[in-house]
Structure 1
């Protein structure tokens, strides 16, 4: 299956997902954020991905009822 280009914009309390070639954007509220073991996880209030999608750029996707986005946290040198 061809991977679609998707942009994920994280704002203040919301995430916007825009697929290339579509003029429609999906917006979801962030219910919570967890940072542990070098990974950031955003828990959303709705599904913003299809069951066959596993990745949006740097974000890994999970969830059957709501989407959970996760990515590695960039550590800045001290």
Structure 2
């Protein structure tokens, strides 16, 4: 079994209204020194295989087809 973490974030230059709202809320809660906040999503995925190359290929396909909107989002895959 292989475990992986896929992190999806907005590409640079794409507006992030949720990140801006979080940024404003943190400042309203008196957290000083907060710079830009960008939000994203994390997927923890278990695959029933021992083949790391196959897992990497499958995870990339999952990202390209479902988990990320590759027009506006980037993704990274970490296999543990």
Name the TM-score, length of structure 2 as normaliser: 0.28
Larger radius of gyration: 2
Of structures 1 and 2, the one with the larger relative CO (CA 8 A, separation 6+) is 2
Task: Please identify which structure carries the higher helix content.
Answer: 2
TM-score, with structure 1 as normaliser: 0.28
